[in-house]
Amino acid sequence: MFESITRNLGDALGSIARGRLTESNIRDGMGKVRQALLEADVNYDVAKAFTQRVTEQAVGEKVLKALRPAEQIVGIVYQELVSLMGPVDHSLAIRRGELSVIMMCGLQGAGKTTTCGKLARMLKEQGNKPMLVAADLQRPAAIEQLRVIGEQIGVPVYWEEAARSNPVQVCVNARKEARAHDCNVLILDTAGRLHVDDALMKELMEVDNKLMPDQALLVCDAMTGQDAVNSAKVFNDALELDGVILTKLDGDTRGGAALSVKAVTGVPIKFIGVGEQLDRLEKFHPDRMAQRILGQGDVATLLETAQRVLDSDEMERQQQKMLEGKFSLDDFLKAMAQIQRMGSMKSLLKLIPGMGQMAQALDALDGMDPDKDLGRVRAMIQSMTLDERRNPEKIDRSRRNRIAQGSGTDPAEVHGLLKQFKDMSGMMQSMAGLGSGDRMKKVMD
């Protein structure tokens, strides 16, 4: 995500740093910053006000006379990005021992039904007892979709035959059902449409008036940029939203929605969807997002994902094996599977400071796709016998040929993998001597 805005902002700020730091150079550079924001589909007024604020601070005496003025300017841009998207607000107004109602709205295809499931899953993990309500009677498949999601995450779904009911009645009945089952959160999956229209707003306002939800959240597709922001404005006028959940930030989004929605509507982004799977919901952190936009990585999210997704017992077993020099190709395969649960290699690289550009560079070099390469490595290891995985030194030329044939690779590639593995094992042994085990453990704790 945000590849082009990161590149363009980097170029704009780089041009300021390279030139002599005069007021006119800074103003020129800020023109480029504004251009970068507009190209990322940031709202025009937001982009204009943003660059004005940064310019005012950047041309001040304090900055121009500072020891490293260019760095100071990047610092100002960072702070302004954070306040544009902030402050942090993850509150959901959930009360224990009482039923809280969360009303989810959004246009069709924004990811509303999926996000209802993600939210229910997250709340359940936090010890709540949620119930999902299929109140989208517009899209016939939505009820079934929500029921499947409920089944996957072990959360009850209240539904009625669409032809025999209406959305308000479904929600009212669901509330009774939730109380009877001691649930403490009711998540309403309301109707979506392709475009905002009066009938939709009327239906949502009826649900809103009758149920008086504790939270009204809008699900917006980040890929649609300014359209997402405009629809947020309309929904907010009708429903007084408490928050926005921005979806599809794992995709090729330009950043306009993330950067404008709070500034235009005053409604905070509370969570972000970063994948189709039901565990791909993250709290929104404006500071982390600003770091990513500026190409500075996001180690905090990387560590959080690792803690959430990785099996710490298995990691510890593998770590122990590494330290004892017993780490086999089989373990390597298991470790790879664990890491891949955290997301694609490319998306992980982007979270590491300084590696964002690396991921882009890999894109440009044909045939250097880390995810594809991992797939080939997996195929090679899976074509080995268990004995070979444990004792790779047994793999001679004829075994190498067999493995290459079985995995659709070539013998040189198999040779390369074995060499890499040997080097890695050697490195791990020497790292063990440096006490890196403790350091790695610390990261995982």
**Nearest by Cα to 339 from 373, 305, 390, 383:** 305
Rounded Cα gap, residues 181 and 1, in angstroms:
41
* 247 annotated as ligand-binding: yes
> Shortest Cβ distance from residue 105 to ligand GDP (Å)?
9
Query: Taking CB under 6 A as the rule, does residue 187 contact ligand GDP?
Result: no
* 174 annotated as ligand-binding: no
CA distances from 307 to 14, 312, 341, 401, 421 (A): 36, 8, 12, 39, 26
> φ, ψ for residue 213 (rounded to 5)?
-60, 150
- 336-375 footprint of ligand GDP as x/- string (CB under 6 A): ----------------------------------------
**Nearest by Cα to 7 from 369, 363, 367, 284:** 363
> Shortest Cβ distance from residue 142 to ligand GDP (Å)?
6
Q: Is the CB of 237 or the CB of 252 nearer to ligand GDP?
A: 252
> φ, ψ for residue 268 (rounded to 5)?
-75, 150
Query: Taking CB under 6 A as the rule, does residue 324 contact ligand GDP?
Result: no
Query: Taking CB under 6 A as the rule, does residue 174 contact ligand GDP?
Result: no
* 441 annotated as ligand-binding: no
* 321 annotated as ligand-binding: no
**Nearest by Cα to 239 from 291, 203, 186:** 203
* 118 annotated as ligand-binding: no
Query: Taking CB under 6 A as the rule, does residue 276 contact ligand GDP?
Result: yes
* 349 annotated as ligand-binding: no
- The only residue of 130, 213, 255, 273 in contact with ligand GDP, by rule CB under 6 A: 273
- Residue 38 Cα to chain centre, angstroms: 23
Query: Taking CB under 6 A as the rule, does residue 274 contact ligand GDP?
Result: yes
- The only residue of 29, 150, 192, 255 in contact with ligand GDP, by rule CB under 6 A: 192
> Shortest Cβ distance from residue 144 to ligand GDP (Å)?
11
DSSP for 286-352 reads HHHHHHHHTT---HHHHHHHHHHHS-HHHHHHHHHHHHTT---HHHHHHHHHHHHHT--HHHHHTTS
Integer-rounded Cα radius of gyration of the chain: 26
- The only residue of 8, 43, 247, 260 in contact with ligand GDP, by rule CB under 6 A: 247
* 305 annotated as ligand-binding: no
Instruction: Report 279-298 residues binding ligand GDP (CB under 6 A).
Output: 280
Instruction: Report 102-121 residues binding ligand GDP (CB under 6 A).
Output: 106, 108-114
Residue ranges binding ligand GDP (CB under 6 A)? 106, 108-114, 192, 247-248, 250-251, 273-276, 280
